[in-house]
Amino acid sequence: MSTSTKSNYDRSAAALRMRRISKSFGPVQALSDVSFTVQAGTVHALVGENGAGKSTLVKILAGVYKPDSGSIEIAGSVHTFDNPNQALAAGVSMIYQDLDLAEHLTAAENVFLGNELPGKLPFTVDYKAMVQKTAELAESFNFKIAPTAVVAELATGDCQVVEIVKALARKASIIVMDEPTSSLSESEVDRLFEVVRNLRRKGIAVVYISHRLEEIVDLADDVTVLRDGRVVHCESVTKLDIPHIVRYMVGRELTEFFPSRSVKLGNVRVRVDNMSSANRISNISFEIRAGEIVGVAGLVGAGRTEVARAIFGIDKKTSGAILLDNQELSIDSPSDAISCGIALLTEDRKRTGLCLGLPCAWNVTLPSLEMLGMKRVINPARENKIADALARRLSIKWQGPQAPGDSLSGGNQQKLLVARWLLAEAKFMIFDEPTRGIDVGAKKEVYLLLNNLAGQGKAILFISSELPELFGITDRILVMRRGRLVANLKTTETTQEEVMHLAAVEQNR
């Protein structure tokens, strides 16, 4: 990439200086002595393994947590934040991964939520002015959004833009994004990058957290690497490449990212025959052999998740059959599917994955209690032991099996879900974006795990938006477009370009 796309803003002014920040949660030292400086008009990436302390650092900046020690300096003056509102007032806006917009309001109403422009009469708001202001603001940053659109009807990418405009309406000088791209489609990612570059051009300081290191090399000016709550490196991105960053993150060289696939394929294990559902998909047919990993590619909205939902009994099937080991299954609910030997790791860990308020061990064993011989009476000691063993195997960072799910970092929560379905011992496992939000080291572990599961003769369906991992780990790739299966390709006989073309081609016709 050329350096001309990078910042050319005056780098002498520090928009943000966090000095010697420390923070502990009970016995866990999440941050120790972290200093972090961001210049105005730059994008500063924050990277590190799961649980390194990235989210904690930015939550301190946003006034969600109070640091145990250290200071925050914004544009030269020192602040202490007791709550997020004070941080907002000081010009810090945070774009959370799961956006917190009011779904039933329009974009403009959201932009001015809690900050409404007063109308002529008392207790009224000037909706017209808000729409106009929103349009102007979006215009001045070259964003395209419709101010009168209801948020519930917008795509995730558009919602993020609304959040950003909301931040701008509050005169934010520092915008923090915690894993903003993990639920975006490829084209939405491109657009978000344009938006971020525009922010930078206008002199806003952007703090950007992501596990996708290609994005960081592409977008950021500087990068700070955290490991175990400490800063291990801070440098301009131009002087670094991905292997270097990874080495700083994990403290060692990471070789051979994808395991070699040498599994002998067995008989056909899973056959899906002409399956349609009330939710978008129609006439889906494919087979998976024992030991085979089959990938599913497609744009966001192509119906990949819906295939998984139909198989798992969440969406009603309108036609078609599912056969496991040549036996036709009748599945009307997830509990049917699980007792037939099917597992589904869902893509949205907050909504359909974890019970965040409950202990980690409970989350892990939830679908497997019966299988573990705890159909009548639960044995907590044994349950904890099982969960503990899995945590060690997946190197989950937690304060023990009874710690509540929401005390874990995002990536470790994802690993908890992987642990759950690993325990369930299914014959047919569906993974919907299993590597979302987990760090490079953990990703490698997950790939290895998938490979081992296949080696045990399981049939695996692997849904992913990241083509490199699909190509790295699968034997075959199914391509979906608009709810239909448009191609069924051997991974070794196709290319990323071909898959991308097949997934998108219809729009050009």
Partner 1 sequence: MNKFLRQMLPFGSLVLIICVLSALRPDSFLTIDNFLNVFRRSSMYGIIAIGMTSVIISAGIDLSVGSMMALCGMLGAAVMVGVGGADPHGMSLIAGTVAGVIAGTGCGFLNGLLITKLRLQPFIVTLGTMSFFRGIALVMKDGQPINVPSYKYLSEGALLHIPVSIIIFAVIIIAAGFILKYTRLGRYTYAIGSNREAAFHAGVNVDRNLVCIYTFTGFLVGIAAMIATSRTISAQPTAGLGAELDIIAAVVIGGASLAGGQGTVTGTIIGTFLISFLRNGCTLLGISTNAQLIVIGMIIVLAVAVDQLARAKTRTS
Residues that bind partner 1 (CB under 8 A): 64-66, 312, 314, 333-335, 337-339, 344, 346, 351-358, 362, 366-367, 369-370, 374-378, 380, 420
CB 216, min distance to Mg ion, A: 15
Q: Which is nearer to ligand ATP, 132 or 399 (CB)?
A: 399
Residue 397 binds which entry of Mg ion, ligand ATP, partner 1, none, CB below 5-8 Å type-dependent: ligand ATP
Residue 50 touches which of Mg ion, ligand ATP, partner 1, none (Cβ within 5-8 Å per kind): ligand ATP
* Amino acid occupying residue 293: I
Told to check if 181 binds Mg ion by CB under 5 A, we report no
Q: Which is nearer to Mg ion, 70 or 410 (CB)?
A: 410
Q: For partner 1, give the closer residue by CB, 28 or 356.
A: 356
| Binding status of residue 6 toward ligand ATP by CB under 6 A | no
Cβ closest to ligand ATP, residue 54 vs residue 133:
54
Find the helix packing angle between 242-250 and 440-455, rounded to 10°.
90
Q: Is 25 in the site for ligand ATP (CB under 6 A)?
A: yes
Cβ 60 to partner 1, closest distance in Å?
A: 10
Q: At what angle do helices 410-423 and 380-393 cross, to 10 degrees?
A: 120
Please give, one letter per residue, the 3-state secondary structure of 279-301. Answer: CCCCCEEEEEECCCEEEEECCCC
Q: Which does 52 bind (CB under 5 to 8 A by kind): partner 1, ligand ATP, Mg ion, none?
A: ligand ATP
DSSP helix/strand/coil, 213: helix
Instruction: Point out which span in 52-60, 253-261, 264-272, 341-349 binds Mg ion (CB under 5 A).
Output: 52-60
Q: Which stretch binds ligand ATP (CB under 6 A): 6-14, 406-414, 454-462, 493-501?
A: 406-414
- Min separation Cβ 94 and partner 1, Å: 16
Question: What is the rounded distance in angstroms from the CA atom of residue 182 to the CA atom of residue 473?
Answer: 20
Would you list the DSSP string of 310-327?
HHTTSSPEEEEEEEETTE
For residue 3, count other CB atoms closer than 10 A to its CB.
9
Part of the chain binding Mg ion (CB under 5 A), chosen from 16-24, 65-73, 286-294, 401-409: 401-409
Between residues 209 and 429, which has the closer beta carbon with respect to Mg ion? 209
User: Residue 56: which of ligand ATP, Mg ion, partner 1, none does it interact with, CB under 5 to 8 A by kind?
Assistant: ligand ATP
Compute how many residues bind ligand ATP; rule: CB under 6 A.
18
**335 interface partner picked from Mg ion, ligand ATP, partner 1, none, CB below 5 to 8 A per type:** partner 1
Order of strands, sheet of 484-490, starting from the edge strand that comes earlier in the sequence: 342-345, 428-432, 459-463, 293-297, 476-481, 484-490
- The sign of the dihedral angle between the CA atoms of 366, 370, 373, 374 is positive
Residue whose structure tokens are 């939902």: 309
Answer for which of 106, 409, 464, 491 binds ligand ATP (CB under 6 A) is 409
3-state secondary structure of 426: coil
Instruction: Tell me the two tokens of residue 464.
Output: 């992913």
User: Is residue 144 within a helix (H) or strand (E), and if so which, with residue range?
Assistant: none
Q: Which residue has the tokens 């099917």?
A: 342
| Cβ neighbours of 274 (radius 10 Å) | 11
Task: Select 248 or 471, whichever has its Cβ closest to ligand ATP.
Answer: 248
Phi first, then psi, for residue 54 (nearest 5°) are -65, -55
CB closest to ligand ATP, residue no = 411
408 binds, among ligand ATP, partner 1, Mg ion, none (CB under 5 to 8 A by kind): ligand ATP
Longest dimension (CA), the chain: 75
Beta strand 230-236 with 222-227: parallel, antiparallel or unpaired? Answer: antiparallel
As measured in angstroms, the least distance from the Cβ of 100 to Mg ion is 16
Which residue type does 4 have?
S
Stretch that binds Mg ion, among 66-74, 180-188, 366-374, 407-415 (CB under 5 A): 407-415
Q: How many CB atoms lie within 10 A of CB 231?
A: 21
Would you say 181 or 277 has its CB closer to Mg ion? 181
Burial-class residue 140 by CB neighbours within 10 Å (0-12, 13-18, 19+).
exposed
According to the binding rule CB under 6 A, does residue 411 interact with ligand ATP? yes
53 binds, among ligand ATP, Mg ion, partner 1, none (CB under 5 to 8 A by kind): ligand ATP
Q: What is the distance between the alpha carbons of residues 84 and 61, in angstroms, rounded to a whole number?
A: 9
Smaller CB distance to ligand ATP: residue 239 or 351?
351
Neighbours of 136 (CB within 10 A): 11
Q: Please give the residues from 38 up to 97 whose contact with ligand ATP meets the rule CB under 6 A.
A: 48, 50-56
Least distance (Å) between residue 213 CB and ligand ATP: 13
Nearest CA-CA partner of 379 in 400, 358, 356, 362: 362
Under rule CB under 6 A, residue 28 binds ligand ATP: yes
Q: Which residues contact 162 (CB under 8 A, 6 or more apart)?
A: 101, 107, 110, 111, 145, 151, 154
> 């965040």: which residue's tokens?
356
Distance CA 8, CA 39 (A): 11
In this structure, the dihedral spanned by the alpha carbons of residues 368, 372, 375 and 376, taken in order and rounded to 10 degrees, is: -140
Stretch of 281-289, 313-321, 334-342, 403-411 lying at the interface with ligand ATP (CB under 6 A): 403-411
183 near Mg ion, judged by CB under 5 A: no
Asked if 410 interacts with Mg ion (CB under 5 A), we say yes
Tell me which residues touch Mg ion (CB under 5 A). Answer: 55, 409-410
Tell me which residues touch ligand ATP (CB under 6 A). Answer: 25, 28, 30, 48, 50-56, 397, 407-412
